[in-house]
Amino acid sequence: MQAAMPRKQKYGFGKLWAVFGGVLFLYLFLGFMIFPCWDTLKSIFTAVEGDPFAVIRFFFAGNMPSFIWNSVKLAIVLVVTVNVVGISIVLLTEYFDIKGAKFLRLGYMTTLIYSGVALVTGYMFLYDQDGFVTKMLREYFPEMDKQWFSGFGAVVFTMTFACTSNHALFLRNAIRGIDYNTVEAARNLGSNPFGVLFKVVMPTLLPTIFSLTVMTFITGLCAMSAPTLLHYDSINPEIVRLAGAVGAGDDFSPEGRAALLSIILAMFTVALLLILNHYEKKGHYLSVSKTKAKLVKQKIQNPVANVLAHIYAYVLFLIYMTPVVMIILFSFQNWKNVDGKILDFSQMTFSNYVGVEDALIPKSGARNAGKFRTVKNAIIGLFSFDKTKDSIILSFILSAIAAALVCVIVVLAVNYIFKHKKAKSSKFVEAGMLFPWLLPTILICYSYRIYFKQNLWYVFGESLSSPERMRILLIAAYVVVKLPFTLRMIKASFYSIDDELEEAARNLGSGPVRSFLRIKLPIVLPSVLAVFALNFNALFSEYDMSATFANTNTQTLAMVVKGLTETGNNSSQFNQAGLRCAATVLIMVVSGIILYLVYGVGARDLAERLKRREKRRRFFARITGRAGKEEQAKKLA
């Protein structure tokens, strides 16, 4: 093909840019992916001088394998439970004719607006020893164990419902992509709706379900917030604990063991991704398909089955919805009601959001019965409390910077990849950007934390691990971790650019830069903004990474929320639980707005925007009374 392409323009510029881009790419790839991770891998064998296998021996002699087993056990159980619930919610809202499906879907989609620490603390608010639901249940079953919501069972329960977001997005897309004619054909040939489901519908969904299964398995292995908060000893919390113990001296080579755990996690991930990759070549995943023959919902004919399906759907809805509703309601309750888990609608308050108040608490001791003492400034709102306010600002700024950076990097890279489709360099660039997918998030952050302690020549001979620079490292980690997902999504959107468009622009006199900015970028911009928003959402409430850095300068929102898990009376601040609710509501609102902007506003094409603009214009014209004049003018004309 090369010989027949038009000669390159004679500006030496293009070449200069290519060299600059190549060097920058290598710098970032080697400096921020390969070197730190390689260092981690090496530390396993260099922890004890002269005995390269000391760490491994110690590792397997002690209780370390139990962490791995715990993680694997969690992953296996989650694969089953998440698939059952995930497939259920999609079938109930998309395939079967269930009354109120739209309403149900809203509940099932709530995991899209809050996840991680926010979600787990929300569940704890309901189910832990003083939880709303636990208290209610104990009224009926007094002998029930107060601490039932802890350990393996609690983690499985929470993650089963927390990890269905991917099902809700991608399996829904897949089921909507089914050609309805195939369903009709099967019905016509004598299948009942369930027969069609298992023989026609499910087989077409299998590739997606398989991909989701692998993703769920990895999620289970790499679980962080749920095990940490619900006290379950799995790999990631242990890595963070070990990382914190580095240098404390009372543990045997914590860095070596943390590294080994990370590497084992990485090996699992690599193996799973290889399977996934092999399998994905047959089917597809993350495809945004538009259906032509729309699926018509199937009515369940058997009345008993129909009733059971409805009950099942609404029970799931309750499980999804209760934490959300309760968190919102309790965020407007005063600290006493929050602590006592009493809903009192006559005493709604904003004290968890803004303002500083004093608290009145009963004096202790029998003498003081009925007397109260005032605790100054014991109730502070989310936006008035320095700690939470700062963390909100920090999370906001860091996530915005990282999400923007990763989008810019990926758009430029994908543009390069598409321009040089057959070149080896573009394959290398793509592989380099997908590389972080092989590495568990924690491994990257852990490696950064350890490796950048040294003064490195390529970061101007400085140490990036000092407290003031930790935020730079956190941003770098955010960017690296989000690269693969961003690349896949944006690459998919570049496929929608017709080659002829660029040719047309060239033909009309545009140079490559102008064609990119004026023609190609506007086409992919909605997708780019969508990815930006999704990344921002994920990073805004992110806990795993900042927890691994565990630095006073990286106290992100989720870390602060996690710190607020104790109930009020134990500290000088009384409304901690209320603050937690308010913070979670904030996360939900921010995520909700962003999702609306992406899928509601961002998805509109030019035609729709023009129509809306016209509507607005008419609306304003009518208000200002200009419309009458214009019409008159038209009539006269």
Partner 1 sequence: MIRLEDIVVRFDKFEALHKINVHVKEGEFFTFLGPSGCGKTTTLRTITGFIQPAEGKVWMQGRDITNVPIEKRNIGIVFQSYALFPTMTVRKNIAYGLTVKHVKRDEIKQRVQQIAERVNLTDDQLDKAVSQLSGGQQQRVAIARALVTNPTIICMDEPLSNLDAKLRVNLRNELKRMQREFGITTIYVTHDQEEALTLSDRIAVFNNGYIEQIGTPNDVYNHSATDFVANFIGDINRLDEEIVNRMQLSPGKKHYIRLERIGVKKDDEGKEDKKDKKDKGEKKDKKAKPGKALKLHGIIESQEYYGLSVKYSIQAAGQTLKVVEKNDGINIHQPGEHVILRIDPEDVMSY
Contact positions vs partner 1 (CB under 8 A): 1-7, 9, 498, 500-501, 503-511, 514, 518-519, 522-523, 525, 605-607, 609-610
Toward partner 1, which CB reaches closer, 277 or 496? 496
Toward partner 1, which CB reaches closer, 6 or 12? 6
Long-range contacts: 287-292, Cβ < 8 Å, 24+?
Answer: 287/173, 287/174, 287/177, 287/492, 288/173, 288/492, 289/173, 289/174, 289/176, 289/177, 291/176, 291/177, 291/178, 291/179, 291/180, 292/179
Which of 474, 592, 586, 550 is CA-nearest to residue 121? 586
**Using N-to-C axis directions, what is the helix angle for 101-108 and 303-330, rounded to 10°?**
50
Toward partner 1, which CB reaches closer, 7 or 282? 7
Q: Which DSSP state fits 253?
A: -
Shortest distance (Å) from residue 413 CB to partner 1: 22
Tokens of residue 196, six digits: 């069609």
Shortest distance (Å) from residue 533 CB to partner 1: 19
Tokens of residue 490, six digits: 């944006």
Shortest distance (Å) from residue 612 CB to partner 1: 12
Toward partner 1, which CB reaches closer, 206 or 519? 519
Tokens of residue 634, six digits: 């038209």
Q: 400: buried, middle or exposed (CB in 10 Å: 19+, 13-18, 0-12)?
A: middle
Toward partner 1, which CB reaches closer, 83 or 515? 515
Q: How large is the C-alpha radius of gyration of the chain? A: 28
Toward partner 1, which CB reaches closer, 15 or 99? 15
Toward partner 1, which CB reaches closer, 201 or 490? 490
Shortest distance (Å) from residue 8 CB to partner 1: 10
Shortest distance (Å) from residue 189 CB to partner 1: 33
Shortest distance (Å) from residue 409 CB to partner 1: 23
List, in order, residues 6 or more apart from 55 with CB less than 8 Å away: 44, 45, 47, 48, 253, 256, 257, 259, 260
Shortest distance (Å) from residue 13 CB to partner 1: 15
Q: What angle do CA 184, 185, 191 make, to 5 degrees?
A: 85
Toward partner 1, which CB reaches closer, 5 or 369? 5
Toward partner 1, which CB reaches closer, 386 or 605? 605
Toward partner 1, which CB reaches closer, 266 or 505? 505
Q: How many of the other CB atoms lie within 10 Å of CB of 481?
A: 26
What DSSP assignment string belongs to 128-147?
Answer: STT-HHHHHHHHH-TTS-TT
Toward partner 1, which CB reaches closer, 371 or 518? 518
List, in order, residues 6 or more apart from 366 with CB less than 8 Å away: none
Partner residues linked to 372 by β-bridges: 362
Shortest distance (Å) from residue 416 CB to partner 1: 20
Q: How many of the other CB atoms lie within 10 Å of CB of 14?
A: 13
Q: 588: buried, middle or exposed (CB in 10 Å: 19+, 13-18, 0-12)?
A: buried
* Rounded Cα distance, 47 and 55, in Å: 7
Shortest distance (Å) from residue 420 CB to partner 1: 16
Shortest distance (Å) from residue 517 CB to partner 1: 11
Shortest distance (Å) from residue 298 CB to partner 1: 33
* Rounded Cα distance, 27 and 259, in Å: 24
- Say which residue the tokens 């399906």 belong to: 309
